[in-house]
Structure 1
Amino acid sequence: MTLSPLAQSPLDHVREVALLLPEAEERESHGQPSFFVAGTQFAQFREDHHGDAMTVVCVKTGDADEQAMMIEANPAVYSRPSYLGASGWVAIDLAGDVDWALVEDRIARSWELAAPRRLLEAGGR
């Protein structure tokens, strides 16, 4: 699903990836552009959230163990986001030389974790 990030802002790229997923919709949540499937959030874009000077997309992980493993394996890319981190989410850094294929895959995986069974059984993404 890798898309060309040329001439796109990080938000535009995240938006394009997220909205390609079945029944995905965008709406603001807590002042941030957020993405939902069947009423469940699966991604949130943050830019300078509470003055942290970071640009990230926050996504679900399977559980706290996966979250910890990802952060430990690559702390330059993954971090524990405020508010969402307690629920096992990770933030993916979107500054610098971004591995967009990884970002796209993690957004799609987060969608799978949030999507209702009927979408997954219908073939998902």
Structure 2
Amino acid sequence: MTPQQLTDRVREICLRFPEGAERITHGSPGFFVRKQFVMLWPHGHHGRDEPHLWAAAAAGVQDEVVGADPERFFVPPYVGGRGWVGMRLDGEVDWDEVAEICEDAYRHIAPPRLLRDLDR
């Protein structure tokens, strides 16, 4: 998958959430709902050559997913200390799982009013 195709897929997922927005940050697409909930690195970043994303996550999720599958998930730099999860997007990508990770990130960041809109 090309970097543009990858960006288009993640964009399609993240912009379907109420008040989801995209802004370029640090040279790559970031997805926001007032605050950032997903960061996409379609060309790799910080020593990781493969495309990947970083997603906000609730307490304990990072340990759970990285512990269960350290080949696909990792602790990202900068935001890993706040519990964010890194996910590789090379090889066979499970897009349902990517959508789930992005939705969980949105739910972690979005205010309650927007979560009610999402659940309608």
d(CA) in 2 for partners of 1:66, 1:72: 10
- Where does residue 22 of structure 1 map in the other structure? 18
Is 1:34 equivalent to 2:30 in the alignment? yes
Q: 1:107 aligned to 94, 102, 107, which one? A: 102
Equivalence map 1:1-125=2 (5 Å): 9-37=5-33, 39-46=34-41, 47-63=43-59, 65-124=60-119
* Structure 1 segments (4+ residues) deviating >3 Å: 122-125
Percent identical residues: 36
Deviation of residue 57 (structure 1)? 1.3
User: Match of 1:50, as an amino acid?
Assistant: H
Equivalent position amino acid for 1:81 in 2: P
Query: What is the CA–CA distance in structure 2 between the aligned matches of 1:54 and 1:86, rounded to whole Å?
Result: 22
- Structure 1 residues without counterparts, runs of 5 or longer: none
1:82 CA drift (Å): 1.1
Structure-2-length-normalised TM-score:
0.89
In 1, the alpha carbon distance for the partners of 2:58 and 2:73 equals 15
The one-letter amino acid of 1:18's match is C
Query: How many angstroms apart in 1 are the aligned matches of 2:18 and 2:116?
Result: 12
Q: Give 1:11 deviation, angstroms.
A: 1.2
| SS of 2:91 mapped into structure 1 | coil
Cα displacement (A) at 1:26: 0.1
